[in-house]
Amino acid sequence: MMWSWIPSNGAMIWQLTRENAYLGVIPALIGLVISLPLGIIAARWRWFYPPVLTVINVIYAVPSLALFIALIPAFGLTDTTVIIALTTFSLCVIVPNVVAGLRAVPAPVRQAATAMGYGPLRRLITIELPLAAPVIIAGLRVGVVSSISMASLGQLIGVSSLGYLFIDGLQRSFPTEIYVGLVLVIALALICDLILVLVRRALTPWQPGRDRRRVVAKVPVPVAVRP
Amino acid sequence: MVHDTLLGGLGGNLITFERVTKEYPDGTKAVDALDLEVPAGKTMVLVGPSGCGKTTSLRMVNRLVEPTSGRILLDGKDVREGNPAHLRRGIGYVIQQTGLFPHRTIEDNIATVPVLNGQPRARARARARELLTLVGLEPSLARRYPHQLSGGQQQRVGVARALAADPPVLLMDEPFSAVDPIVRASLQDQLIALQTELHKTIVLVTHDIEEAIKVGDIVALFRPHGVLAQVGAPERLLGEPADDYVADFVGFDRGIRRLSFFPAENLALTSGPFFGGDATVAQATAGGQPWVLMTGSDGKARGWVSAATLGALPGDTPLAQVPADGFGHTFTAGTDTLRAALDAAVLSPAGEAIAVDGDGRVLGVATFDQLRTAIQAADAADTASAARARAGAGGPPA
Amino acid sequence: MSFFSYAWDWITSSANWHGSGSIPQQLVAHLGYSGLPLLIAALIGIPAGIAIGHTGRGAVVVVNVANAWRSIPTLGFLILLATLIGFSFITWLLPLVVLAVPPILVNVYEGVAGVDPGVKDAAKGVGMTGWQQVTRVEVPIALPLILVGLRTSAIFVVATATIAAYIGLGGLGRYIIDGLASDQYGPVAGGALLVVLLAVLVLAFFALLSRLVVPAGLRGQRKAE
């Protein structure tokens, strides 16, 4: 392990980290923005959800590298290709959580709100979404962590990310570079995860502080890292 | 703590708690030095507020919870001897959430313990179908799955499953608390009927004092934190609560509720006057009674009519044409309780309870005075017999 | 030209169906490179998940494993091993197994631990031994989630085996990696499409398996939910 390599290549490492972060976080956020209306519709009109879920399951079965490749003719070997692909995968994870979160709002709460004179839109924004927030954020966390990890794979189609450290490290038989890459990807993912936990705590002061991790595993979409 | 030992039972105590304590690492005691005896063939109800240790005590009998100190004897043997799974197969267990296995049919659910014991599945299933009838369900439900049944039906299946291996003991933990009151009453009645047939030793936990009084042969009332307040027959707790806690828990109209334990057979009746449909208004008012009881041609009561109403009618009107002013209900002389009789009197506009025979034909009426005499006599008899029982057991315990 | 036309042209050109490195050959190889890690991962993950789910001990391990696992970049992990020990069967088998275990472990655990507490209490109360509770009650009820775990892991392994081509493994990934290296989009698209089809086939297989294996009582219950 050659420690000196790190500071001497600090600028490059930092650049790659920023790029990887960008390629990981943006898709998750866009995915959230698209998932919310989709999930709200699916929670409200129940017949809509099963076909959506089937589509999600099929899309999520597509290996991420294959989806990158499929998008190349349309978007080239660019950031856009990776972002579109990762946004799609984030959607697959977040939509079921939006639906689950909204459906978990107890019916008596919704009925009380309606009885007090909340219109459907106001009730959705001020009551249902806040109560569904923990579950939705749990989905977002999975989306962000997976995206950051998968973004490094984009290096195989030439899209710059921390994956460069893996490939260069292999070509030069230089383990240090690979370790650095691994540590940074994992650290980046876990830091973003932690930030989202803090966001959740800030948004939901009524909840006990401990992590509700079990909620994630209960959502129907197979939750997995895509390589 | 007042503990009345009971006469009768089929020969001794089947379950004995000897200074049983359950203490948790943080110091809280769920059960505190419990001494309790459950006679064979009787229904013992453990009742009390949340957190009083009744469920914990129950679950120590089949070793789902292990006591911190003390021991529990089942048929003379410490339950901790031997294999817990083997012990449990000999004890029926019914819980509030039913715990029916969702992946098995109803008949396979009921057949669980016999199959565990090695019985061939076909025979166990046949027996399961018999048990379905015993608990009041259609045998056609045998091949269905639990989620297809209503809550009350599921609970009956739970009882059938507990009875399948014919265990001498049944443990029931709030078995009827999760269903609505009408279904609950039906299930309670079914349990009472089953007991008269099967004579199991039942320990039942409930938070509902009414259920305890209705279903129990002996009621054990717990204080918070696992201490017994009083143990005895339901009418004992109603008639002689050991202290204010028991009196409060039992409820404020315990005097009247206690009357449901006294049969109405010794209630004196006035045999008249009551008049059939052929009698005329003039005949009915001849005696100067403020209220007249009218019967139909079949001898059954039609209702009360006031003298004022009759006075407004021509004297030769047959009573059959006169509508009744009020009725209430009747009580059956041979089988109903003093409480039913009292209630009938209260509801009657005449203040008199109508006594009928088994076919509904009017035998006579009981006035409030006659009711008072009967109630006082029953109360005196009951108190005397309780005192005799205590004396026979060697005086009040320490 | 679109992705599909590139892929279709390449797949349907007969040259790719003969000789060494042919489509059938790589397909079979890919199945082997996916199947073996999946099998081993199942042999590790299913008993572990059942044990932790039944006893409740070690549950905190499962939760942390799930969180950490998602952050591991597959490519980096594979490359690390290749750099350290060169290319041998351990180089690809170990990472694939390690990465395939968590979805199985988490889902089996959730399935077993998530059995209704009343049902678990009843299973104990009627006198089943621990083993009987697990085999006759908890595992059958957990079966839908166990299958989800296996399905997730299977699809994931198919994808990971594709990437392992980068460190020298055969299989369908070869077309992608070699095509990328030689700037030929045909095999890249064709290989990608084949991998997708394989993944979808795995999905369908598990859907069918689920229908056959899951007890009717549970299926009805899920519909009622």
User: What are the pLDDT digits (tens) for C106-121?
Assistant: 999 999 999 999 999 9
Q: Assess whether pLDDT exceeds 70 at residue B308.
A: yes
The answer to whether A152 and A165 are in contact (CB under 8 A) is no
Binary contact (C128, B85; C-beta < 8 A): yes
pLDDT band at A23; cut points 50, 70, 90: very high
Average pLDDT over residues A180-192: 94
Q: Assess whether pLDDT exceeds 90 at residue A141.
A: yes
Binary contact (C125, B113; C-beta < 8 A): no
The answer to whether A175 and C80 are in contact (CB under 8 A) is yes
Do residues B353 and B230 both lie within one domain?
no
What residues in C contact A70, CB-CB < 8 Å?
3, 189, 192-193, 196
Q: Assess whether pLDDT exceeds 70 at residue B396.
A: no
Name the residue with higher pLDDT: B315 or C92.
C92
Alpha-carbon dihedral angle through residues B268, B271, B277, B278, given to the nearest 10 degrees = 180
Question: In this predicted structure, what is the pLDDT of residue A226?
Answer: 40
ipTM associated with this complex: 0.87
Phi, psi of B108 (to 5 degrees): -70, -30
Q: Is C25 helix (H, G, I), strand (E, B) or coil?
A: helix
Average pLDDT over residues A145-156: 94
Q: Assess whether pLDDT exceeds 70 at residue A54.
A: yes
Beta bridge mates, B29? B23
Domain C22-220 bears CATH identifier 1.10.3720.10: yes
Average pLDDT over residues A121-145: 92
Question: In this predicted structure, what is the pLDDT of residue A223?
Answer: 41
Question: In this predicted structure, what is the pLDDT of residue C67?
Answer: 75
pLDDT band at B51; cut points 50, 70, 90: confident
Q: Which residue of C has its CA nearest to B85?
A: C127
Do residues B365 and B255 both lie within one domain?
no
* Domain ranges, residue B12: 2-90+168-261
Do residues B219 and B323 both lie within one domain?
no
Average pLDDT over residues B366-395: 83
- Give the best residue of A166, A188, A195 to mutate against chain C (max C CB count within 10 A): A166
* Domain ranges, residue A44: 14-217
Q: Which residue of C has its CA nearest to A193?
A: C67
Q: Which residue of A has its CA nearest to C6?
A: A73
Phi, psi of A220 (to 5 degrees): -65, -30
Q: Assess whether pLDDT exceeds 60 at residue A197.
A: yes
Question: In this predicted structure, what is the pLDDT of residue C118?
Answer: 93
The CATH number of whichever domain residue B65 belongs to comes to: 3.40.50.300
What residues in C contact B64, CB-CB < 8 Å?
121, 124-125
Phi, psi of B317 (to 5 degrees): -65, 130
What's the gap between Cα B124 and its chain centre? 31
Question: In this predicted structure, what is the pLDDT of residue A218?
Answer: 40
- Give the Cα separation of A58 and B375 in Å (integer): 78
Tokens read off for B181: 């009151």
Name the residue with higher pLDDT: B9 or B188.
B188
Shortest CA gap A103–chain C (Å)? 12
Binary contact (C119, B100; C-beta < 8 A): yes
Collect all residues with Cβ–Cβ distance below 8 Å to B270 and sequence separation of at least 6.
B352, B364, B365, B366, B367, B370
Question: In this predicted structure, what is the pLDDT of residue A210?
Answer: 54
Binary contact (C159, A178; C-beta < 8 A): no
The CATH number of whichever domain residue A40 belongs to comes to: 1.10.3720.10
Question: In this predicted structure, what is the pLDDT of residue B393?
Answer: 63
Instruction: Kindly report the pTM of this predicted structure.
Output: 0.82
- By Cβ distance, the residue of C124, C141, C218 closest to B64 is C124
Calculate the average pLDDT of chain A. 88
Question: In this predicted structure, what is the pLDDT of residue B169?
Answer: 94
- Give the Cα separation of A209 and C88 in Å (integer): 47
Residue B102 domain-assigned?
no
Residue A179 domain-assigned?
yes
Query: How many distinct structural domains can be found in chain B?
Result: 2
- Give the Cα separation of C139 and C131 in Å (integer): 11
**Domains of chain C, residue spans:** 22-220
Residue B351 domain-assigned?
yes
User: What are the pLDDT digits (tens) for B61-114?
Assistant: 999 999 999 999 998 899 999 899 999 999 999 999 999 999 999 999 999 999
Query: How many distinct structural domains can be found in chain A?
Result: 1
Q: Which residue of B has its CA nearest to C130?
A: B85
Do residues B359 and B279 both lie within one domain?
yes
Chains touching B, CB cut-off 8 Å, 3+ pairs: C
Average pLDDT over residues B234-249: 90
Average pLDDT over residues A76-82: 92
Average pLDDT over residues A32-59: 93
Average pLDDT over residues C196-210: 93
Do residues B345 and B248 both lie within one domain?
no
- Give the best residue of C64, C79, C162 to mutate against chain A (max A CB count within 10 A): C79
Average pLDDT over residues C5-21: 83
Neighbours of B344 (CB within 10 A): 24
Binary contact (A149, C72; C-beta < 8 A): yes
Question: In this predicted structure, what is the pLDDT of residue B203?
Answer: 96
Binary contact (C125, B100; C-beta < 8 A): no
Shortest CA gap A110–chain C (Å)? 19
Residue B112 domain-assigned?
no
Binary contact (A214, C77; C-beta < 8 A): no
